Amino acid sequence: MLSHVVTYVPEEPVHDAAIEEINREAFGPGRFTRAAYRIREGGPHDRALSFVALNGIHVVGSVRLTPVLIGETPAMLLGPLAVRPAWKKQGIGAALMRMSMEAARTAGHKLVILVGDEPYYAPFGFRPIKGHQIEMPAPVDPERFLACELLPLALQGVQGRVRHADFAEAC
């Protein structure tokens, strides 16, 4: 039986295969058609702001932050956040969220967006982006399109299409 001791560390390339397996378990093949996935295809996530939960050497959860532009405004796209089924309901996802959000704040980022369930993400400061002129590259449920202002009023005046920051630089 595995011990339930979990440690949290910044993500490294050695974790990639396990993270992909966790995301496959959590989201299935439909993940490739989602708006957030399309953005992530535009370039890499920021490993310095992405974390894994480990039980020994086994990855049991992960969260990633990806640099994006909303129009001309820099932001971070959170996700995927996933925890292996046997490890759910133990606070691992919440711990990963706290770590990634604090890392983003410390790095000077002002705004984080995601597509997810408001009841889960609200305790971390996320609110619906209703009434803003922000467009994802594919349709998303407006109730699930959320933002967290790491700096007060960071969302004020933000508008435009969301795209990967590296993709935007290449255009």
Task: Collect contacts of 91-98 with beta carbons under 8 A, ≥24 apart.
Answer: 92/6, 92/53, 92/60, 92/61, 93/61, 93/63, 93/120, 94/123, 94/124, 95/6, 95/8, 95/53, 96/8, 96/51, 96/52, 96/53, 96/61, 96/62, 96/63, 97/63, 97/121, 97/124, 98/124
- Give the pLDDT score at 23: 87
pLDDT in tens for each of the 171 residues of the chain? 345 799 999 999 999 999 999 988 877 666 555 778 788 888 899 999 999 999 999 999 999 999 999 999 999 999 899 999 999 999 999 999 999 999 999 999 999 999 999 999 999 999 999 777 999 988 899 999 999 999 999 999 999 999 999 854 444
Q: Which two three-digit tokens encode residue 119?
A: 């009841």
**What pLDDT does 40 receive?**
85
pLDDT of residue 41: 84
Domains by residue range for the chain, with CATH: 7-170 (3.40.630.30)
pLDDT for the residue 162: 95
